[in-house]
Amino acid sequence: MHPALSVIFFTTLMGAGQGLFLALYTAQLYAAVRILPWQASPTFYALGSLLALLLVLGGMAASFFHLGRPERSWRSAAMWRTSWLSREVVMLPVTAGLMVVYGGIHALGLDTTLFTIGGFIAVDLTILVGLVAAVAILGLFLSTAMIYASLRFLQEWHGPLTVLNFVLLGCASGFTLATAFASTLASGMAVFYTNWAVVLTAAALVTRGASLLVNGRRRPKSTLESAIGVRHPQIRQITQGAMGGSFNTREFFHHQSAMRVAATRWAFLVLVFPLPIALLITTEVSDNPGPAIAAFCLQFLGLLAERWSFFADARHPQNLYYQAIA
């Protein structure tokens, strides 16, 4: 498939924003149940929510560059009962709105205790709002991933690994960003986020590596014979059947050499996984936020390459017919 830059930035920015919010809420839950002894200030959560919101809004803005008629984008939500794309469109403003409410309650100091559990676990309004927001974020992750995982004719995307990779890569980048954020504003939380970021990045390496291995062994179910409806043991294609390019030749193939595709794959394998993990580990023995910031920047750069590779690796069956040029 042809990797569109707007969709690449949309999915990576959205994933980082969603992951960052989940990181903030996870830390608050750990502190509420006394697993994490250090509680960050409301300002930390308010600013973190604002940063997560900006990333989500940035992703939404990038998505408009992929629309042929942006003024009609509201219509994409009409088929939410059957379309994962419509469900994503519905979940986007819901998630952004809940982020605003969560951050606003912290910023205005309205997070008063509503009730206690077991006499020592205090549940305030932000805990409840954050829980609803976390569920919405998981629903948004699922909706975005299922847009691709539900396409049965694209074997490289169809399967649970696509969903796992979207969730884990988004959470890994979000927790890495949370590490950099905490190293700058709340150093007491940095170790907590670092440990989670390393675990999530390692888990994402396992699932993304598994998808590369599985896709590398796949054999197309369609053949040249089935593509043109001719059953003959010896068919040789010498032309693409058109004098010039078309939508089919532009949008369903990446038009890059096998060397560039392989180089992009190795680039993201290095930038997304081992380099950030190494930099994150150094933050546990240093108060300098530089390594954590570098870890996020390198990982996000690698995620752009990973998402390009994700789209380029999908082999559309129609290319059996259109990609041979005399």
pLDDT category at 164 given cuts 50, 70, 90 is: very high
CA distance 87 to 184: 36
Average pLDDT over all residues of the chain: 87
Question: Helix axis angle, 42-63 relative to 84-108, nearest 10°?
Answer: 150
CA distance 130 to 84: 24
pTM attached to this predicted model? 0.91
Average of per-residue pLDDT across 235-247: 69
Q: Which residue did the predictor score with more confidence, 123 or 127?
A: 127
Encode pLDDT of 249-296 as tens digits: 777 878 788 898 899 999 999 999 999 999 999 887 777 889 999 999
- The three-state (H, E, C) secondary structure of 229-246, written as one string: CCCCCCCCCCCCCCCCCC
pLDDT category at 112 given cuts 50, 70, 90 is: confident
Task: Give the type of residue at 279.
Answer: L
Q: How far is CA 108 from the centre of its chain?
A: 30
Strands 121-124, 113-117: pairing is antiparallel
Beta bridge pairs of residue 262: none
- Per DSSP, the three-state class of 123 is strand
Name 300's Cβ contacts closer than 8 Å, sequence gap at least 6.
12, 16, 173
DSSP 150-174: T-TT-TTT-SHHHHHHHHHHHHHHH
CA distances from 195 to 27, 160, 166, 302 (A): 12, 26, 20, 20
Q: What is the DSSP letter of 68?
A: S
Handedness of CA 254, 255, 258, 260 (dihedral sign): negative
How many CB atoms within 10 Å of residue 212?
A: 16
CA distance 315 to 321: 12
Encode pLDDT of 129-141 as tens digits: 999 999 999 999 9
CATH number corresponding to 5-322: 1.20.1630.10
Q: How far apart are the first and last CA of the chain?
A: 21
